[in-house]
Structures are given as C-alpha cells and as structure tokens.
Amino acid sequence: MKYISKLFIVFFIGSIVSVSCSVDDDENLFQTSQVSPILDANVPDTMVMGETYTLGITYQKDSDCHRFSNFDAVNQGDSLYYVRAITIFTQAANCNQDSSGDQKEVDFTNNFESDFTFKFLNARDSLGDFTYLDKDVIVIKD
C-alpha cells in the first residue's frame, strides 16, 4: 500500500510539473479585442420577413496583426439593428501598420415585420459621439 501511495504522489507531482512548464512563446503575446469601424455594407433595399440574406460588410483592418473575430449585433426596438465589427489584435514585432478594408460575409435572417434600419458603427465625431452608416430596408410582406 505504501508503494502505491508513493507511486501516486510521484505521478501527481510529475503531471503538475509537466503541465505547468511550457516553452511555447506564443502564450506570452499580448492580445486584446477592439471595435473596428465599418466602412461599407452591401445590404438589399428590400427584404421579405423570414428570408435569409447574405450581407457583405467591409470593416477597417488597422494592421496585419488584427484578425476578424465577429460582428456584434443588437436589435433595438422594432426598427433599429445596430452592428459593430470586433477584431482581435495580437502584439508582434513585425506588424505592418498599413490599414485596409477587409470584407466579410454574414447571413442575416430578417425577423422584422416592418421597415427597419441597419446602423453600422462607423466612427466617432469631434464630440466623441458615435457615427453610423445607415442602411434603410423596406420589408415586403409575403
């Protein structure tokens, strides 16, 4: 019984040491998420309730150290749909700081029963207020 107890303790300590030691340098990189401006959105002028549409959304990619994460969307009331682009920045010594527009496609199922407006977060004005790229959509009843 003593032998099994000692063997268990040795394996337990060994597993802790092997899991806690890592030589992978990627774990030490600084990462943060941020909201990136939406530069353009390809949205149909009319939609049918219950139908799914593919939207082309162009967001600003600040450097090649930024990668797309997702679109965060919030339905506010019965006529406004706010959308913002979320990117992940990973600190690296060799980031190309040239910003560019990068387009992503996203499927959107229209659940609005009446006309509504997409409000894509674009920037902040000189007063610090958010500005939006508005796309009005007319809902056709099927």
Question: At a CB cut-off of 8 Å and minimum separation 6, what does 33 contact?
Answer: 69, 86, 87, 88, 89
* pLDDT grade for 1, boundaries at 50, 70 and 90: low
Q: Measure the CA–CA gap between 56 and 106, rounded to whole angstroms.
A: 7
Q: Measure the CA–CA gap between 56 and 58, rounded to whole angstroms.
A: 7
Evaluate whether 117 touches 139 at the Cβ level (below 8 Å).
no
Token pair recorded at residue 51: 């139908």
R_g over Cα of the chain: 24
- pTM here is 0.75
Evaluate whether 133 touches 58 at the Cβ level (below 8 Å).
no
Q: Measure the CA–CA gap between 95 and 107, rounded to whole angstroms.
A: 31
DSSP β-bridge partners for residue 133: 120
- What sign does the dihedral 20-26-32-38 (CA atoms) show? negative
Q: Is the pLDDT of residue 131 over 80?
A: yes
Q: Is the pLDDT of residue 19 over 90?
A: no
DSSP β-bridge partners for residue 17: none
Span 90-106, pLDDT tens digits: 887 788 877 788 999 99
